[in-house]
Amino acid sequence: MYRTVAQLDWEMASLAAFAPEVCTRFELPEPSVEGRTIHAMRLRAGDGENRRGVLIVGGTHARELMNPDLLVELAVDLVVSYLTGIDIVLGRRRWAARDVALMLEALDIYLLPCSNPDGRNYVMTVQWDWRKNRRVDPETSCIGVDLNRNMDVLWGVTEGQTSCNPCSNNYVGPSALSEPEARNVKHLLDSHRIVTFADVHSYSELVMYPWSHAPTQTTDSSQRFTSLPSGTCLPIADPNYQEYMPPRDLQRFQTVSARIVDAIADVRGRRYTPQAGYDLYATTGTNRDYAYSRHVADPGAEKVYGFGFETGPWAGSAKESFQPADPAPIMREAESGLLGLISESICAIELIGSRLLESDEEVVALRRVRDELLATTATGRDWIALGERVQSSLLGCVLADKGLTAQAATLLRATTKVLTNDAAALDRDTIAQAQALSRNLLDRAQSAETRNDLRSMQTLLERSQGQTVTQVLRALMADGPDA
């Protein structure tokens, strides 16, 4: 069962009225082609400016009906859990209220449940399989632009399922970002510090990430989309073209996708497939690729990890797949996947730094080590992945316990002091602090994977005593956690 555009708006307004300290509903700058006001929500709790932001968009393709409902229900569940301290239970997966609170207190979560309200209204009142917005092309009288082809990344390059024909269901529009609904998504990316983006579609049970116009490669950084012409209404000229992505970014996309897949499977066992967008079929001008591409096109822009969900399975027909009679089980598992994505967007170091330290010096130093050193080798990236796994599993525990939080902050401060001096050796006290924290975390670790990760860290600590920072980093980049 599905909500109308008006009902979606009513529910957003009601939630914001009910819990204004957690939920704000706001109007986006541009109404739809048919003049409908489009609203988004911001969910956040507690203090703190310039937080990391997550933006989740639904309803881009009108006939993929369940996703706007899903995003509104996600908002309600987050708010209710925060206000009551009650866990979010989705089938067999339980999201602890403590972890939900952490999401709301660490991040700004922006939800745009229905980015294409004209299309949704048309589906409900005229044609059930409508996909695009309702722009009328003056020359052909054909109607609609595919909003997931209208974004400014290789716009108008007709690779795969992308078309310059105004009568096509994959019509790219008359120019990049020609559509107000697409510009609203750009506005949200421009005006907030978004670090994670998801565009939620149906169907096929996929979690997708860039690239979509060509296969991804991680070795030749000269192959960038910025050197390709756009607006050609032709496919990419070189049929063997492959788009570059730094290995660290690909690893991050793959590890986060894997955790999303696990969070979905926990609900009722459905296992989504993580893959690059291109593996479904080639496209250009998509939301997810646009979100990620922005920092490549403009090196001053924040890097946004852009994901796409395809919720729900093939159900034997297009109609039942796009619009199942009972979408609730699919919505529950997709909600768990989105909670997984939100959770993965928290940065422990940044959070502890902003809460407990006076400046961001420590955060900047550690980020530099991560991005400029560890990320440059495969084994270094394995250590990064290990750290992210431990964070994901234990950050809630640490922040809920004042003693552990203080221990983590002290260690962070001591580590940074050493990191800023390449010749400094890791002293006995710092190692002992790290070992104590690690032991405390081991006591609280729920999963075998987390316990193994913590033991790898303990082994590393034992080896590191008396070594300089340079020596430790060299070892980290040469030997992975399993060495």
Partner 1 sequence: MVRFEATIHGAGSIEVARLDLDRIADPEGLVRVLVDVDDCVRLVEQGFEVRLHHAYRVEPLDPGLILSDDEVRASFGRRIGRAGRRGTS
Subset of residues 14 to 33 that bind partner 1, contact rule: CB under 8 A:
14-15, 17-19
CA-CA distance, 237 to 414, in Å (whole number)? Answer: 53
Backbone angles phi, psi at 109, to 5 degrees: -105, 115
Subset of residues 29 to 68 that bind partner 1, contact rule: CB under 8 A:
65
What does the CA dihedral 123, 129, 133, 134 come to, rounded to 10 degrees?
-70
CB-based burial, 148-178: b 16+ in 10 Å, e otherwise: bbbbbbbbbbbbbbbbbebebebbbbbebbe
- 182 touches partner 1 (CB under 8 A): no
- 240 touches partner 1 (CB under 8 A): no
- In this structure, are residues 343 and 392 in contact, taking their beta carbons and an 8 Å threshold? yes
For residue 296, how many other CB atoms are within 10 A of its CB? 19
Q: Please choose, from the candidates 55, 54, 61, 75, the residue with its C-alpha nearest in 3D space to the C-alpha of residue 8.
A: 75
The contact pattern for partner 1, residues 261-290, with x = CB under 8 A and - = no contact, is -------------------xxx--------
Backbone angles phi, psi at 421, to 5 degrees: -135, 105
For residue 190, how many other CB atoms are within 10 A of its CB? 11
Q: How far is the CB of 455 from partner 1 (least distance, A)?
A: 40
Can you spell out the DSSP letters for 69-94?
Answer: HHHHHHHHHHHHHHHH-PPEEETTEE
CA-CA distance, 457 to 311, in Å (whole number)? Answer: 37
Q: How far is the CB of 232 from partner 1 (least distance, A)?
A: 15
Q: How far is the CB of 379 from partner 1 (least distance, A)?
A: 36
CA-CA distance, 229 to 366, in Å (whole number)? Answer: 38
CA-CA distance, 175 to 194, in Å (whole number)? Answer: 25
Tokens 């010096």, residue located: 361
Q: Which stretch binds partner 1 (CB under 8 A): 50-58, 69-77, 219-227, 419-427?
A: 69-77
Among 36, 39, 93, 131, binds partner 1 (CB under 8 A): 131
CB nearer to partner 1: give 264 or 365. 264
CA-CA distance, 345 to 54, in Å (whole number)? Answer: 7
Q: Which stretch binds partner 1 (CB under 8 A): 45-53, 267-275, 317-325, 348-356?
A: 317-325
CB nearer to partner 1: give 158 or 456. 158
Among 4, 230, 254, 273, binds partner 1 (CB under 8 A): 4
- In this structure, are residues 209 and 307 in contact, taking their beta carbons and an 8 Å threshold? yes
Among 136, 226, 314, 449, binds partner 1 (CB under 8 A): 314
Q: Specify the 3-state DSSP secondary structure of 65.
A: coil
CB nearer to partner 1: give 311 or 393. 311
Q: Which stretch binds partner 1 (CB under 8 A): 2-10, 185-193, 347-355, 452-460?
A: 2-10
CB nearer to partner 1: give 82 or 307. 82
Q: How far is the CB of 435 from partner 1 (least distance, A)?
A: 42
CA-CA distance, 434 to 436, in Å (whole number)? Answer: 5
Q: Please choose, from the candidates 258, 479, 246, the residue with its C-alpha nearest in 3D space to the C-alpha of residue 383.
A: 479
Among 319, 368, 428, 474, binds partner 1 (CB under 8 A): 319
Q: How far is the CB of 9 from partner 1 (least distance, A)?
A: 11
Q: Which stretch binds partner 1 (CB under 8 A): 93-101, 165-173, 375-383, 396-404?
A: 165-173
Q: How far is the CB of 243 from partner 1 (least distance, A)?
A: 18
- 116 touches partner 1 (CB under 8 A): no
CA dihedral over 349, 350, 352, 358, signed as positive or negative = positive
Subset of residues 430 to 449 that bind partner 1, contact rule: CB under 8 A:
none
Among 11, 105, 362, 388, binds partner 1 (CB under 8 A): 11
Q: Which stretch binds partner 1 (CB under 8 A): 158-166, 336-344, 356-364, 393-401?
A: 158-166
- 241 touches partner 1 (CB under 8 A): no
Among 35, 126, 358, 372, binds partner 1 (CB under 8 A): 126
Q: Is 173 left (phi over 0), alpha (psi -120 to 50) or beta?
A: left
Beta-strand pair 305-311/194-202: parallel
The number of CA neighbours under 13 Å toward the Cβ of 93 is 23
Among 60, 286, 323, 440, binds partner 1 (CB under 8 A): 323
CA dihedral over 309, 76, 54, 38, signed as positive or negative = positive
The contact pattern for partner 1, residues 188-227, with x = CB under 8 A and - = no contact, is ---------------xx-----------------------
Binding site for partner 1 (CB under 8 A): 1-4, 7, 10-11, 13-15, 17-19, 65, 73, 76-77, 79-80, 83-84, 86, 123-129, 131, 158-163, 165, 167-170, 203-204, 280-282, 310, 313-314, 317-319, 321, 323, 325
